[in-house]
Amino acid sequence: MTGSEASPTFRLAYVPGVTPAKWVRIWNERRPDVPLTLVPVPAAEVSDVLRRGEADAGLVRLPVDRTVLSAIPLYTEATVVVAPKDHVVTAADEVSLDELADEVVLHPLDDVLGWEQPPGEPAFERPATTEDAVEHVASGIGILYVPQSLARLHHRKDLTYRTVLDAPQSDVALSWPEEATTDLVEDFIGVVRGRTVNSTRGRTPPPAQPKTKGKRTEAPAGSRKPSAGKATGKTGMTGKNPRGSSGGAKGTKRGKPRGR
């Protein structure tokens, strides 16, 4: 268990480049009784954070260790090349790896694209982080391949990026410890999957409350109204008015005036 059921908050880890704002907003609308705490974590450390129970779930980049973590893929990010604004790569909106084969390529130690060595000429050394690699690109040392969200995260005015058509892509997923699928985790799964607020999938629905029928009130003895058409008095008449009474006596009809 991650402790989310005993904790007053739901702890959501997320890796650089992933923006959880939309899902946090929906969570706050649906579960105002359980505040959501965001836990920023480097991509290389998020699996350990989840296994140690330091977060209830996380927005991660695949792959993860599926023997201990569950994962629901959410979306796939395009890969871009980051280069100086005056680089030849800016001549087109999209490029291929073949067109960049002669470029010096920076390969940070926290690379999330999963290749052993990016195509191109390797740089003299590997930067420690993607942020460091971006600094090297700005210095004119080489180019860098990253998911588009990381290019936006580390945006600089002197750099730009272009989509790389045939590069590996990055899959973003919701992940959590497989043995700790709490009710709060199920609630957040519902948020990212777009379930309606009334959906009970994955949750035990509350027991149905018995319907209470209103009791019929019995009229007190002697208070029942007489049926229409029956005698209402001691006269014994049934439906005809006595002569001379209003509404039907013959003497009350007025004939048509004769013409003069």
Six token digits for residue 229: 């058409």
- Mean pLDDT for the stretch of residues 35-56: 96
Position 97 confidence tier, pLDDT thresholds 50, 70, 90: very high
Strands 10-14 and 57-61: parallel
Looking at 133-246, which runs of residues are DSSP E strands?
143-147, 159-164, 170-177
Query: Is 135 strand, coil or helix?
Result: helix
The predicted pLDDT at position 221 comes to 52
Closest CA to 81 of 114, 119, 44: 119
Report pLDDT digits (tens) over 54-95.
Answer: 999 999 999 999 999 999 999 999 999 999 999 999 999 999
Query: Is 170 strand, coil or helix?
Result: strand
Q: How far apart are CA 110 and CA 122, in angstroms?
A: 16
The predicted pLDDT at position 196 comes to 77
The more confidently predicted of residues 241 and 35 is 35
Domains of the chain (ranges; CATH) run 10-76+171-192 (3.40.190.10), 79-168 (3.40.190.10)
- 2: pLDDT strictly greater than 90: no
Closest CA to 7 of 42, 46, 55: 55
Question: Mean pLDDT score of the chain, rounded to an integer?
Answer: 82
